[in-house]
Structure 1
Amino acid sequence: MTMTTALILDCDTGIDDALAIFYGAHHGADFRLCTVTHGNVPVERGARNTLTLLDAVGLHHVPVHQGAARPFAQELHTAEYVHGDDGLGNSELPESNRHISGSLAAAEIVAQARLHPGELVLVAIGPLTNIGMALLLEPKLAQLIKRVVVMGGAVGIQGNISPAAEANVWHDPEAAQLVVDAEWDVLFVGLEITLSTVLTPAGLARIENSTDPRAQLAWKIMAHYLDFHEKTMGVRTAVLHDPLAMALALEPELGRYKLVNAYVELGQGPSRGALVGDLRATRPAPVDPRAKGVIRIVESIDAEAFHEKFLEALGA
């Protein structure tokens, strides 16, 4: 019997969020609900996309709750240049006819954590505004959540939206700092490891040539993403940022980890939004994953196993 993981997915559904939903649906994610934030697209568009993708993988029962429309302390920025005007690669998918659930995202995260203390894994693959708001609403949230997996940060390497910052953290640094400071077991799956998930030409060919409806849908969504990476990286490929976070939430044994003391740069200079981890060998490593300001980062992954599981989730 397949083991399942009860989780809340907080997302900003663009292309790699969609691929993470495909991954989770096939590999044991028990989606209790999805909450949506601003990020890749405006929050209303992201909520509709999330419903559409859940329906596409047969998860018609999973509710979607709309959340923050903008960051705490800066203007809204979106990334249609990466994900297409509709957030799904301009694929013009038929939209779900389901309704967005009435309660707001942060309140619903708190409500579910209270109903199921110690049971839920919180997977955040967009900006962290909803999670920050939930922490403000419920001071005991960190004790109620089993563990947290965030796709975010670029510890020790250059960023992708600025020289120092990764996009999800940069989109709301103040919220990200709340997440770092919360006394819970939080894993940041950052660019320092997600950039090792680049799909090979052979992997892309398996998706393109598959007759499985999941692969055909994914290929339609991915075309715009491949175009973007070809322009920016010089190679027609896709980086599986969000699917890796989902994979490590479901199967932590795919990676090796280390604890670091960390903070988010909140100044108004060019390093704003950088997730800074103390990597100095001369400083003792933290030992308590639930201490304030301590996060996990990923040292290495079994990339071959991850890629195979990703392709399997698409039927490729």
Structure 2
Amino acid sequence: MSGVILDCDTGIDDALAIAYAAGAGVPLTACTVVHGNVPVDLGSRNTVTVLDAVGLDGVPVYRGASRPMAQELMTAEHVHGQDGLGDAGIEPSARAVAGDLAAVRIVELARAHPGELSIVAVGPLTNIALALLLEPRLPELVDQVVIMGGAVGAVGNASETGEANIWHDPEAAQVVIDAPWDVVFVGLEATMRTPLTQEQLARIERSEDPRAQLCWRVLQHYLDVYENVLGERSCVLHDPLALVLAVEPGLATYRTVRAFVELGRGGTRGMLVGDLRGFRPDPEDPRAPGVIRIVDTLDTVAFHDRFLAAIGA
């Protein structure tokens, strides 16, 4: 892996993913930021802050889309805190973002390093869709695309059927699905299998590693939120799972399916629908438009081991 563009909307689980990247030596070429968990300006500031806190102060951050393509802006401070980092009192970094127009920068980087860069998107897909509209050859220019998004065959979290990153910009997600590239959607059907155990949380709490200490601080609000979902004080690791699978895809097996996003105005808007019926063979070509890969089986133990080791817990 020559380099990774991490497209994020930095809230709590984005911060966990960045901490993993620092400890695992993931070669982050740039972080691009989109609306989502918080407004894009705050997400950009949080991205710089977390990068600097975990020793990645050389990674440039580019501010991107401030709203979805075809609906009003919606954010999720109730999940991530008013500051997006769990209201834990994390001191913002003084480093400035490197620039705006994140979609343009994605295209420029892909053109400058054809076939070398991976895109890992852990927020709404507005920046990625805009980059595709700017450069239709983008699928030929990137090595791999891994997205945290969707809930194929699972309940949603932003709505009854919609996972937040797809629900926040359904039209952008459809543009990404229609592109002729091999794209993996790491959805709730996979990420909800990753709750941390009490022993694992205790390891994070006890660690003296700055990465683990940052994670523990921002996790407190997240643990409060997920206690109502999981029935115990724990949480799942949405964004870290997508980044870990981009680095070590062998920790999972995948199924190739035909897929689309529900774009209507009813209660199922933003639902990522995958054809799991088995009435006809699954597609063989993952690069075909309208075809995605989803996680089938997951080595959760190995995933947790990788994450905890990287943050120093």
| TM-score normalised by length of structure 2 | 0.98
Contact 2:150 2:188 (C-alpha < 8 Å) held by counterparts: yes
Distance, in Å, in 2 between the alignment partners of 1:135 and 1:213 is 37
Task: Confirm whether residue 187 of structure 1 aligns to residue 184 of structure 2.
Answer: yes
In the other structure, the counterpart of 2:228 is 231
Task: Confirm whether residue 119 of structure 1 aligns to residue 116 of structure 2.
Answer: yes
> Paired residues, what number?
313
Task: Confirm whether residue 88 of structure 1 aligns to residue 96 of structure 2.
Answer: no
Task: Confirm whether residue 262 of structure 1 aligns to residue 262 of structure 2.
Answer: no
Q: Give the counterpart of 2:274 among 273, 277, 280.
A: 277
In the other structure, the counterpart of 1:109 is 106
Uncovered stretches (5+) of structure 2, i.e. residues with no partner: none
Runs ≥4 residues deviating over 3 A:
none
Q: Give the counterpart of 1:16 among 2, 7, 13.
A: 13
Query: What's the CA shift for 1:149?
Result: 0.3
Distance, in Å, in 1 between the alignment partners of 2:210 and 2:99 is 31
Distance, in Å, in 1 between the alignment partners of 2:208 and 2:27 is 26
In the other structure, the counterpart of 2:311 is 314
Query: What's the CA shift for 1:232?
Result: 3.0
Specify the SS of the correspondent of 1:197.
coil
Q: Give the counterpart of 2:41 among 40, 44, 53.
A: 44
Task: Confirm whether residue 32 of structure 1 aligns to residue 26 of structure 2.
Answer: no
Query: What's the CA shift for 1:310?
Result: 1.0
Contact 1:65 1:101 (C-alpha < 8 Å) held by counterparts: yes
- Opposite residue 236 of structure 1, the aligned amino acid is R
- Opposite residue 141 of structure 1, the aligned amino acid is L
Uncovered stretches (5+) of structure 1, i.e. residues with no partner: none
In the other structure, the counterpart of 1:161 is 158
Specify the SS of the correspondent of 1:29.
coil
Identity %: 63
Residues 142-177 of structure 1 show CA distances to partners (whole Å, capped at 9, x for unaligned) of: 111111000000001111111111010000000000
Q: Give the counterpart of 2:94 among 93, 97, 114.
A: 97
Q: Give the counterpart of 2:3 among 6, 15, 20.
A: 6
- Opposite residue 33 of structure 2, the aligned amino acid is V
Contact 2:23 2:312 (C-alpha < 8 Å) held by counterparts: no
Single out whichever of 209-218 and 140-149 deviates more from structure 2: 209-218
Query: What's the CA shift for 1:5?
Result: 4.6
| TM-score normalised by length of structure 1 | 0.97
Contact 1:5 1:250 (C-alpha < 8 Å) held by counterparts: no
In the other structure, the counterpart of 2:284 is 287
Computed over aligned residues only, the root mean square deviation of the Cα atoms, in angstroms, reads 0.9
Distance, in Å, in 2 between the alignment partners of 1:5 and 1:205 is 34
Task: Confirm whether residue 204 of structure 1 aligns to residue 190 of structure 2.
Answer: no
